[in-house]
Amino acid sequence: MTLRTIDSLGALQGKRVIVRFDLNVPLKDAQITDDGRVRASLPTLTALLAQGARVVIISHLGRPDGAFDAKYSLAPVAARLSELVGRPVAFAADTVGSAAADAVSRLADGDIVVLENLRFNPGETSKVDSEREAFAAQLAAFGDAFVSDGFGVVHRKQASVYDLAAILPSAAGLLIAAELDVLDRLTEKPEAPYTVVLGGSKVSDKLGVIGHLLPRVDSLLIGGGMLFTFLAAQGHSVGASLLETDQLDTVRGYLAEADRLGVKIVLPTDVVVASKFGADAEHVITAADAIEHTPFGAAGLGLDIGPDTAAAFAEIIRTSKTVFWNGPMGVFEIPAFAEGTRTIAAALTEVSGLSVVGGGDSAAAVRILGYTDDQFGHISTGGGASLEFLEGKRLPGLEVLGW
């Protein structure tokens, strides 16, 4: 089947188009600290406005557990959207109540309204089909057509992602189309050499990706908290570092499978070990197989890859034609443990082929470290969705759009 695009909806002049974006941005004191997901919505929004649509924007933000919580309001997002599109953006203080109904009724051609956080309504994330469908029906009353463009949520069977698309004439937005094009290039005949860089805290979060991509890649570079489970699987002591003992046998299996396939799983040769978790922690650089031989002994905590490892990883990345990176190499929020992540980000900007930053913490890291989106081939807006796609899973929010 073929993914339905906006063109399939026909002329949109004067029509109310509900658009599901992923505007789940980080906030501090009601201020957006990273507007990457807001900016990622602009191509689809601009295309709809150019056709004279009356745009009703819906999204979630955070996890408010089905009830109003002011700290998760989308009001700051509406204000930022107004700045970016250079026109007023109305904001409705509820999702399917009187404020939303009134705001939608006032829309003229080319107008925009943002409805309040979908997750203030328990029907959005309900596991009960009838509850989700009822909420979706309330939302559908505000629209003549539906465009799904929140790639970060397409792996969720939620009211605004799945059920709403089944009620109204529906199509995928430009962001989803772009994300799928990139992910298809990562899974179907990627240009070699193909390198995947995996970090983050838990190896269990990446097992499906490792299993699905091993037959496709040339090199798999392992950093972040998950590296210590790999080191332990090889028989090394890792002190107080993050360790998933229940995954040791699985990791050993992947190491053996990589050897059989001729794939290089590259593990750190040195790490940054700290006395504790914190910005004021004492820390040293040590060999990856000597973590407990630091002054901190068995209490030593690995919080970043070391400089030798970072340099070796960077060289492999720079000489690759396809690179996918998901998960920071260390605790990048603390300057002392950010260098590994910084080095990887810098190397990705030098890839002559396709470089993809796989959303979530990785996308946040590159921006915090001072890089801009256009320095990379693609920055995904959907960490979890990207990973599930790369695991080979079917995603309900895409299937309902014909994919």
59 & 135 share domain: yes
Phi–psi pair at 36, nearest 5 degrees: -55, -40
pLDDT of residue 1: 55
Query: Is 1 part of any domain?
Result: no
163 & 198 share domain: no
Domain assignment of residue 332, given as a range:
190-391
The last residue of one of the domains, among 124, 143, 178, is: 178
The DSSP letter of residue 160 is: I
DSSP 71-116: GG-SHHHHHHHHHHHTS--EEESSSSSHHHHHHHHT--TT-EEEE-
203 & 96 share domain: no
212 & 238 share domain: yes
Q: What is the CATH number of the domain that holds 196?
A: 3.40.50.1260
Q: In the chain, which residues have pLDDT < 70?
A: 1, 359
pLDDT of residue 201: 86
Query: Is 309 part of any domain?
Result: yes
Query: Is 338 part of any domain?
Result: yes
pLDDT of residue 348: 97
119 carries a ligand binding annotation: yes
333 carries a ligand binding annotation: yes
37, 191 Cβ separation under 8 angstroms: no
State the angle between helix axes of 383-390 and 360-368 in degrees (0 to 180), rounded to the nearest 10.
130
Cis before 193? omega within 30 = yes
**Annotated catalytic residue within 360, 382, 383, 397:** 360
pLDDT of residue 113: 98
362, 206 Cβ separation under 8 angstroms: no
378 carries a ligand binding annotation: no
- 360 in catalytic set: yes
116 carries a ligand binding annotation: no
23 & 51 share domain: yes
At 246, list the tokens: 């229940």
How many structural domains does the chain have?
2
Query: Is 229 part of any domain?
Result: yes
Closest CA to 283 of 215, 228, 338: 338
pLDDT of residue 189: 86
The span from the CA of 96 to the CA of 117, in Å, is 10
20 & 84 share domain: yes
The DSSP letter of residue 174 is: H
Query: Is 399 part of any domain?
Result: no
110 carries a ligand binding annotation: no
285 & 170 share domain: no
37 carries a ligand binding annotation: yes
pLDDT of residue 365: 87
154 & 194 share domain: no
At 49, list the tokens: 């406005």
In the chain, helix, strand, coil percent, each to 5?
40, 15, 40
Between the CA atoms of 125, 129, 131 and 132, what dihedral angle is there, to the nearest 10 degrees?
50
221 & 171 share domain: no
The last residue of one of the domains, among 178, 210, 238, is: 178
**Residue 198, beta-bridge partner list:** 222, 326
**Annotated catalytic residue within 16, 20, 37, 80:** 37
165 & 201 share domain: no
Closest CA to 220 of 399, 27, 14, 390: 390
**Annotated catalytic residue within 39, 202, 252, 276:** 202
17, 31 Cβ separation under 8 angstroms: no
- 300 in catalytic set: no
Query: Is 132 part of any domain?
Result: yes
Query: Is 210 part of any domain?
Result: yes
The last residue of one of the domains, among 178, 209, 227, is: 178
Query: Is 214 part of any domain?
Result: yes
302 carries a ligand binding annotation: yes
359 carries a ligand binding annotation: yes
247 & 328 share domain: yes
42, 60 Cβ separation under 8 angstroms: no
150 & 202 share domain: no
